[in-house]
Amino acid sequence: MAHVEIENVSKAYGPYKIIEGLDLNVADEEFVVLVGPSGCGKTTTLRMVAGLETVTSGTIRIGSRDVTELRPGLRNCAMVFQNYALYPHMTVGENIGYGMKVRGESRASIDKAVKDVARVLDLEQYLDRRPKQLSGGQRQRVAIGRAIVRSPDVFLFDEPLSNLDAKLRIEMRTEIKALHRRLAKTIVYVTHDQVEAMTMADRVVVMNRGRIEQAADPITIYEKPANLFVAGFIGAPSMNFIHGEIAARDGALVFAEPSGTGLILPKSREAAYGAHVGKPVVLGVRPDHVLHQGGPAGTSIRMVVKDVEPLGPHTLVIGSVGAFPFTAQMPVGVAAEPDRPFELALDLRRTHLFDRASGQAIAAA
């Protein structure tokens, strides 16, 4: 059992607090991805688990062991670094086997383990090459091989794919997922790429300013964002936000935007929204939850188009609704033109409402 428990962990550099009171439990064999913008503390968190950064306060446990004060080598974690961190003067085989050599294991067992790992990662023909003679993807596989060979309790990945090109990144993503299934080990993975987070994780942890904004499975994160930050961070293009307030009109709750248009909120959500009548809220609409015209009354809004971006499978219509920027994902060939109004119908069952003051989602049952 190698679950990871991060309990009330804080990290400060002098007067600068990077992480404050972070709590996170990673279950045994779980694949958790920490995602967030630059400087949100995700890499620092990972490095604290690895022992490469000290903890200012709090406790970190791996399995049943309190590792907070242990040095990195005694934590039985393996880390894959963003820049691979391969030993440039060693061959691929020596790189993979270095840890075992350091631990004084026999030449025969090192050779066998290195060959096994090389077979799994398709590196057999490169064992005598040096890192310099490998492509980015191969180097990354060597780094992963070095991690696998020591059979750690926990794998830590620090933005391992960010130096690869888009195509290779997709391939490596699949490989790492397959590896996780095969090895059945706990993985903590850091990335700033939300697509990586969504596609790979059992659970996504969205971080911002040293705090966890939401930790949930990818679909929940996407469909039920806990707050404005998560809603805006996850999803590409990101969610549209329109400020307004909830009003009661003609026996129904409506979202009233500043221009006066009232969007009739679904009956099923009235119980949750009722307490917020008259309060400022933010309506969140994903670009792909918008239909072009033809919606029933009380579901339509008008945007002014600024640009139309044909992307192939669909077209993005970019503009604004009132003072708020708005992007709609439309079918190819949609009749939208710059500087012209464009009628939209919203699928209001799939929209989100957030309390403007706290930024928190107004929970809908």
Partner 1 sequence: MMRNDPIKHVFIWPAVLVVLAISIFPLIYSFTTSFLSYRLIPPIPPRVVWLGNYASLLQEPRFWNAIFTTTLIAFIAVGLQYVIGFGVALALNARVPGERLFRVALLLPMLLAPVAVALVARMIFNPTMGPLNQFLSEFGLVNLPFLTNGHWALACIIAVEVWQWTPFIILMMLAGLQTLPEDVYEAAELENASAWQQFWGITFPMLLPISAAVVFIRLIESYKIMDTVFVMTGGGPGVETETLTLFAYQEGFKKFNLGYTSALSFLFLIAITIIGVTYLALLRPHLEKRR
Q: Contact positions toward partner 1, by CB under 8 A?
A: 50-52, 71-75, 77-79, 81-83, 85-89, 98-99, 101-103, 146, 150
- Structural tokens at position 353: 């409402």
Compute the distance between CA of residue 244 and CA of residue 264 in angstroms, rounded to an integer: 13
How would you classify the pairing of strands 154-158 and 77-80?
parallel
Closer to partner 1 by Cβ: residue 77 or 197: 77
How near is the Cβ of 89 to partner 1 at its closest, in Å? 5
Q: Which residues contact 294 (CB under 8 A, 6 or more apart)?
A: 345
How near is the Cβ of 274 to partner 1 at its closest, in Å? 54
For residue 136, the number of C-alpha atoms closer than 13 Å in the C-beta half-sphere is 14
How near is the Cβ of 68 to partner 1 at its closest, in Å? 16
How near is the Cβ of 25 to partner 1 at its closest, in Å? 22
Structural contact between residues 240 and 326, judged by C-beta atoms closer than 8 angstroms: yes
Cα dihedral 283, 288, 293, 298 sign? negative
CA geometry: angle 227, 229, 234, nearest 5 deg: 100
Closer to partner 1 by Cβ: residue 46 or 348: 46
Closer to partner 1 by Cβ: residue 103 or 249: 103
Closer to partner 1 by Cβ: residue 99 or 287: 99
Closer to partner 1 by Cβ: residue 54 or 174: 54
How near is the Cβ of 275 to partner 1 at its closest, in Å? 51
How near is the Cβ of 57 to partner 1 at its closest, in Å? 23
The torsion of the CA quartet 274, 275, 277, 280, rounded to 10 degrees, works out to -130
Single-letter code of the amino acid located at 212: I
Distance, first Cα to last Cα, the chain: 35
Closer to partner 1 by Cβ: residue 99 or 218: 99
